[in-house]
C-alpha cells in the first residue's frame, strides 16, 4: 500500500523514505495539503501531513470521499486539524507527541542571542567590509531575568540553558514543573512575569485559551528593553499589536520563528512575489526583529524522531493499536 506524504522538505525526504523502507511504499510531495491539493490523495488510505497543512472540515471531507482513513501528522501541534469532523468521518488522526525538546529550546536561544548581539546586522555589514561597532552593542544575559511561559519539556530545556547563563528564572504555567523549580525558577502570575523579565520566551500550545496570550495589554506590560522570543505557535502573539509596539520604538529585540498567518507563506519561496500580508511585511523591516521560517524543530535528531514516530503511528493503525499519539481513534 502506498502512503502519500504532503509538505515534505528536501532534507526531510531521505529520512522519511529510509524510515518507511521495509514497511510501506511512500510517495513524498513538496506541495502542502489544502483544498486544491487534497484530490491528489484519492485512493490513498493513509496520508501524512506537515504542521502547516489545512485539515479543516472541507479538506477532510475531500480526503474521506477519496478513501483516506488515516491522517498521520508529522508534528506535535494539531490546531490545524478539525478533530470533530475527523471523528464524524470515521478517520483516525495521529500526531507526534514527543521529539527532541532541545532542538526548539536551542533555537529559541539562538534567536534571543542573535537579536541581543545584533548578529544579522553585523554579518550584513562585514559582507560589505564595514567593520564598525556602532549600533551593535548587546547586553550580558548573566544576572538578568528570563521569563518562561510554558514550562513543559521545551520550556524546561530552555530554562536549563538560561540557568547555565546565570539568569534568574520566572515561570508561568497551569502546572509547576519540579525540575524547573530545582533550577531556582519562581512561578508567578503572567503579568508579573512580563513586567520583570529581560527575556520572555513562549513554549505553549495554541488553543482557544492561549490565542493572543501576548496581546496589546500584555505587550505594554513588558519592559521597554525586553527581548521577546516565540518558537512555539504564531497565534500566541497578536502580531498587529506587536507591530504597534515596535513602531513606538520598544523592545531590544524580537525573535519569531512562527507567525500567526504563516500558512501559505512559510516553507515556500515567495522571493519573486509581492507579499500581501502587510503585518508580516512590516515585521521583517524592523532592525531589531528577526523572523525565521518555522525551523526551530528542524534538526536531524528531531526530524528523525518525528519520522520514526510517524512510522509507528502508521503501524499501530494497521494493527489496531492505540498509543498516546492518537488524537482520533480508529472509527
Dump pLDDT digits (tens) for 264-318. 899 889 999 999 999 999 999 999 999 999 999 999 999 999 999 999 999 999 9
Residue owning grid cell 567593520: 131
Selecting among 233, 250, 260, 312, the annotated active-site residue is 233
Torsion of CA 288, 258, 208, 100, to 10 degrees: -120
pLDDT < 50 regions, the chain = none
In the chain, the percentage of residues whose pLDDT exceeds 90 is 93
Whole-angstrom distance, CA of residue 278 vs CA of residue 255: 18
Quickly list H helices, 132-196.
153-165, 178-182, 190-196
pLDDT tens per residue across span 121-145: 999 999 999 999 999 999 999 999 9
Q: How far, in whole angstroms, is CA 208 from its chain's centroid?
A: 17
Whole-angstrom distance, CA of residue 80 vs CA of residue 316: 23
What is the pLDDT, as a whole number, of residue 331? 64
What is the pLDDT, as a whole number, of residue 44? 97
| Strands of 70-73's sheet in order across | 25-28, 2-5, 46-49, 70-73, 92-94, 326-328
Q: Tell me if 117 sits within 8 A of 138, measured CB to CB.
A: yes
Selecting among 74, 95, 294, 312, the annotated active-site residue is 294
Per the annotation, the verdict on 312 as an active-site residue is: no
Q: Which three cell numbers stand for residue 130?
A: 564595514
Per the annotation, the verdict on 294 as an active-site residue is: yes
Whole-angstrom distance, CA of residue 78 vs CA of residue 94: 9
Per the annotation, the verdict on 21 as an active-site residue is: no
Q: Tell me if 17 sits within 8 A of 62, measured CB to CB.
A: no
Q: Tell me if 295 sits within 8 A of 48, measured CB to CB.
A: no
Amino acid at each position: 500500500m502506498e502512503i502519500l506524504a504532503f509538505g515534505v522538505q528536501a532534507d526531510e525526504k531521505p529520512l522519511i523514505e529510509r524510515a518507511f523502507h521495509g514497511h510501506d511504499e511512500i510517495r513524498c510531495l513538496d506541495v502542502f495539503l489544502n483544498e486544491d491539493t487534497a484530490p491528489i490523495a484519492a485512493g490513498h488510505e493513509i496520508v501524512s501531513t506537515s504542521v502547516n497543512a489545512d485539515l479543516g472540515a472541507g479538506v477532510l471531507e475531500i480526503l474521506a470521499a477519496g478513501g483516506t482513513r488515516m491522517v498521520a501528522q508529522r508534528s506535535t501541534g494539531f490546531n490545524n486539524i478539525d478533530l470533530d469532523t475527523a471523528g464524524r468521518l470515521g478517520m483516525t488522526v495521529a500526531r507526534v507527541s514527543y521529539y527532541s525538546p532541545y532542538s526548539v529550546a536551542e533555537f529559541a536561544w539562538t534567536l534571543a542571542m542573535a537579536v541581543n548581539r545584533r548578529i544579522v546586522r553585523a554579518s550584513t555589514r562585514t559582507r560589505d567590509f564595514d567593520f564598525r561597532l556602532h549600533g551593535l552593542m548587546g547586553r550580558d544575559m548573566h544576572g538578568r531575568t528570563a521569563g518562561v511561559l510554558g514550562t513543559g519539556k521545551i520550556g524546561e530545556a530552555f530554562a536549563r540553558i538560561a540557568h547555565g547563563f546565570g539568569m534568574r528564572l520566572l515561570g508561568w504555567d497551569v502546572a509547576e514543573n519540579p525540575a524547573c523549580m530545582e533550577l531556582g525558577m519562581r512561578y508567578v502570575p503572567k503579568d508579573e512575569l512580563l513586567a520583570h523579565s529581560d527575556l520572555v520566551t513562549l513554549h505553549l500550545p495554541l488553543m482557544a485559551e492561549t490565542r493572543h496570550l501576548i496581546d496589546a495589554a500584555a505587550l505594554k506590560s513588558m519592559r521597554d528593553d525586553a527581548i521577546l522570543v516565540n518558537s512555539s505557535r504564531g497565534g500566541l502573539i497578536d502580531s498587529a499589536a506587536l507591530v504597534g509596539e515596535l513602531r513606538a520604538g520598544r523592545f531590544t529585540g524580537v525573535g519569531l520563528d512562527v507567525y500567526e498567518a504563516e500558512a501559505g507563506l512559510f516553507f515556500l519561496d515567495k522571493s519573486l512575489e509581492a507579499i500581501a500580508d502587510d503585518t508580516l511585511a512590516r515585521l521583517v523591516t524592523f532592525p531589531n526583529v528577526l523572523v525565521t521560517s518555522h525551523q526551530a524543530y528542524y534538526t536531524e535528531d528531531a526530524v528523525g524522531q518525528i519520522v520514526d514516530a510517524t512510522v509507528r503511528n502508521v503501524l499501530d493503525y494497521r494493527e489496531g493499536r492505540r498509543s498516546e499519539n492518537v488524537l482520533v481513534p480508529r472509527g
